[in-house]
Amino acid sequence: MNDFDVVVMGAGPAGCAAAIHCAQRGLRVGLVERRHFPRHRPGETLHPGVEPLLQQLGGNAMLTDPAYLRHAGHWVHWDGPPRFHGFGGDAWRGFQIPRALLDQQLLQQAHTLGVQVSQPKCVSQVLQQHGRVSGAQVGATQWTARYVVDATGRHGWLQRQLRTPSQRFSPRLIARYGYCENSDLPDTALGLFANRYGWHWLTRISRTCVHWTQLYFYAAHTHRAIPSALDHRAATDAMRGADVTWRCAQHTAGPGYFLVGDAAATLDPCASHGVIKALISGMQAASAIVDCLSWPAGEPSIQAAYQAWIQEGFKRDVTALRSFYQAHPHPPAWLHTQE
């Protein structure tokens, strides 16, 4: 039997951030990931605000790697003439880090800090004792812990196990995405574009590859998957899809557990800061766990503060995204029917 201070389910940015931050504070951490890496996700563009977070997590190598493209902002073709959204100042530049590489480097940092990583490994059920989450059945072995962190993303492993509810704020949304060669794609073809059925995003993630994401506001719309700017360009990988329905768990913390990243709250990639929110939520949950361990009697108050932080931040993001979508040339009718 493996006994830890913290067991983290899921090795994406939120899970790795939680595991790394706990390990940095001297806790014994186990990290379980059910899939092989690399994994791909829609959206490969990171706001400059990710830099101090990666520095705190020990990811300095990622920040100085010359293979990562840097950008001063992006073009938006939405509710009028194209406009450039800059981050401000020459030194304030975002990152183009392929998600598969980001995940792998964060996982390596967790391993370097002594986190016990098990991958790929199936988790069959949650362990509970006296009404409190106390670990998980990992393969044939019980992993026990004082706290469990669910970072399984939209899969929502712990929510399913505990049968806790979540609230939806949109109809079911699927983001389709993929990669194409970009040897001759002009910069004017890159950016965020509104279209009749939703929007698409094109960005260069390396000198030889473009990442695209397409989202339709309604599941019935299947106009086309790949943006027309990429017609006649060779795909470098299979097209994929991700469920990006807006949703927020009603219980993001409870006796013995915390939910982080998309397991706690999900918005579609147009919100533009999913990776940053994932990293911050993992670090916030780790800090809350440290506080709970040093002050057990304060656990309810600490968890209530964490839950309020998740829910209030999600509501602000929903309000901002609704406002942005309302300015779309063809705004979806469901914008104000899901409140």
Q: Residue 336 — very low, low, confident or very high, per pLDDT cuts 50/70/90?
A: confident
pLDDT band at 122 (very low <50, low <70, confident <90, very high): confident
Lowest pLDDT segment from 112-116, 146-150, 179-183: 179-183
Provide the pLDDT confidence category of residue 97 given band limits of 50, 70 and 90: confident
Q: Which of 42-56, 89-103, 221-235, 237-251 has the highest mean pLDDT?
A: 237-251
Peptide bond into 66 cis (omega under 30): no
H-state helical runs in the chain: 13-24, 50-56, 60-64, 99-112, 157-162, 274-294, 299-326
Query: In whole numbers, what is the pLDDT of the chain averaged over residues?
Result: 91
Q: Domain limits of the chain?
A: 2-43+99-170+245-326
Q: What is the pLDDT of residue 183?
A: 64
Structure tokens belonging to residue 258: 């915390």
Q: What is the pLDDT of residue 222?
A: 66
- The pLDDT-based confidence of 294 (bands split at 50, 70, 90) is very high
CATH of domain 2-43+99-170+245-326: 3.50.50.60
Could you report the per-residue pLDDT of 230-264, keeping only the tens digit for each? Answer: 887 878 888 889 999 999 999 999 999 999 999 99
The better pLDDT of the pair 48, 206 is held by 48
Q: What is the pLDDT of residue 214?
A: 93
What is the tens place of the pLDDT at every residue in 314-335? 999 999 999 999 999 999 999 9
DSSP string, 102-158: HHHHHHHHHHHTT-EEE-S--EEEEEEETTEEEEEEETTEEEEEEEEEE--GGG-HH
Would you state the pLDDT for residue 144? 97
Mean pLDDT of 47-59: 90
